[in-house]
Structure 1
């Protein structure tokens, strides 16, 4: 209990309650204060509960709290499962009742908030079945159920989006990263185009690459189709095994020759059929008859106009008001016997519904069994007609199943080997891609370093030199060129490099100025970004303040509305009391004696006079009893003594009679002996 109190106090001292309690102050709270704290916690879960319980009747408070706790699925602990005791504890603000509720609520506030929010839209209105037979009411209720289902779908989609982990900042980062990758890919494609354009057959090579990509995609789709077909084959095999097992079980059940099992099955069938015939089917027939009678009655009545509909709606409202009054009277009475009887009635109705549902499931299972047996007979007849022979026996079926299992095991092993090879191939392919990406990043870094040093294109020229040197070495190996040709080639290459350097010099100068411009733009961007962030933070703080003000105003409006309705109700009650007082005054002042007799004052005065006479008689009787008490006690004692004396005489007389009878028996025995 101490741990429970500690937890409650800790949670109440935190946001959003901020009560500043300790264990002593919380334990010393009065019942009304404890109920107000419970109401505040319920108001945090459901804002509709934010009212002052001092302005509300205790019965209404208990009814409101019990309805919300029922929606939140709270179950009382221990001996408080009795509804009357639980309600009485809530009315009095008992600690053994309120503390467990607070502990249970504060443990799961976010979850209960969500449940209370959903309950406003998902708890369906209870409409009697007779009213649903009306077309207008039935269509409206059907539209209401469709809206509830749409709300469920939208809420589920919203929760999936919330739990998917995506946020606007992540999406923006992804978009910026994708744009950068797109720019890099465009630059890379342009570089590749420049490299490929000098080649004579570059268009043919592009076509071949495109065709290769198409074929790879087709190969992937074919592999997916193959895998799907394998999965379908495996599922079909599993279904075949299950069907064979079911067939085997059915054959064993049908081949069971013991009379005990047959009698048990027959007894079960008789019980089920008797229940269906004596209880379920008559109820359904009676319900159908009532529906038909109601429909005939509705069809025989003339067409209803708007006035008739309005009259029926007024009657429905009156009946609902009477029902509410009866419910309130019953709650105020709090009869534990009625509550126990309702509990037993609910249990009986639940058991009857379960019984009906099981009977329906049994009927469906029987229909499915009959359909399967018909299908089995049909297929066996088809196989006999097509093959001209009977169905395979059980031993042959076992051999085929064992063979299929061995093949299935071998197939699984091969499939596992293929999966391992595919995984290894995927790893190698991924390694190749990583190495290519690293090579590309190294190339990009090399290009950036060359651009920073002012020698962009140096690596390309170096690669070209390497390619030219390789070509030159091959030509030297093939044609055996002399060293003079090589020196001339080197001179030409040096001249080409010098020309390219001279061509790159003005570009490098322009690049330096562009770098300076880029730094200036970066500084300007950083300044504007800081300005934007500060402005956004200010707007966000203003928005949060406005939201808080709007929330406070809405709460104030709700409180004012509650106060308004309460004042209206109290004014109606006071007007009714004033009207009754005026009627009482008219009856009291009236000259007609019959009217005056109807006045409440006259009735009360008459009752008071009768009670005074009765009290006077009782006092006289009491006086007589007190005066004759001693004489009566003596007389009572004398009667007791007389009773004891008579009882003693009775016992003596019985003993004397017994002695006389024994003497006679002895005397008769002696006479018999003398005769002998």
Structure 2
């Protein structure tokens, strides 16, 4: 293991990585940092892997790395159980999993670069079997294959013709080498231009989010600076009243409703399945009960007792006030959750900004 770590460290200290590690610093890398090192090595083999893993979900990082390692034909030692351990170790950045992968990659980087490049053209596409069995699709495939074979013959003849023309020129091997390098650099330039545009878009959106969060943070700090002890005490008392209301009234009521609903559902589940005759009998009982209720309402209205009328009015007003109180409590709870989310987002943005330029973000009136 020590020879393996030494080889990995020496390779990472050379071009193109230039990590400048020693045994202590390399061994003390956090799992996230170790995964970033692995991602950088994979990016050297396949430029499309150049990703900041802090911007990825752990599952996406593991899926991306496993996909490329599969293309590169990396086979971790062990059975199916060990394969599951390997995937889990790749997600959490486990050293016993990452070190062998780094050692294997750094031993054959040039060979793997070629394999990753050719994989774009050699990976077999999965076609559903129902399409392969279709006669029209099969005929189309045969026609395409025939056309590609003809095109291949034409290209071979054209290449032979061009070779004869080039071989007569002086330094033709050097010219071919330069042309090959030019093609590679053009492909890299195109990839870098696309990546640059994506990073510009990400930076633009990040700056917009940062400005919004800074404005919100400034407003909250101004509100906190203008606050007096009396207002803070009043706000604290209101918060205590709100929490007391939630604990003593709202939550118990919701819990009771949930218990009733659960009891009703359990009762429905425990009863045997009802047939058509049972449904008719139940419907008849419901109609009888509705008739009795209507008769009682009519008798009550005929009495028209003023005291009962006033009580009914008070009950109605109390019910309206209770509903309004519950609605406001829910709105306040949502506002608190949104405020907490914005504060967390502001903290994350400040940390990211410090990592980018090494300076503290100006806050408030600074």
| TM-score normalized with structure 2 length | 0.44
Greater share of residues in helix? 1
More contact order relative to length (CA 8 Å, sep ≥ 6):
2
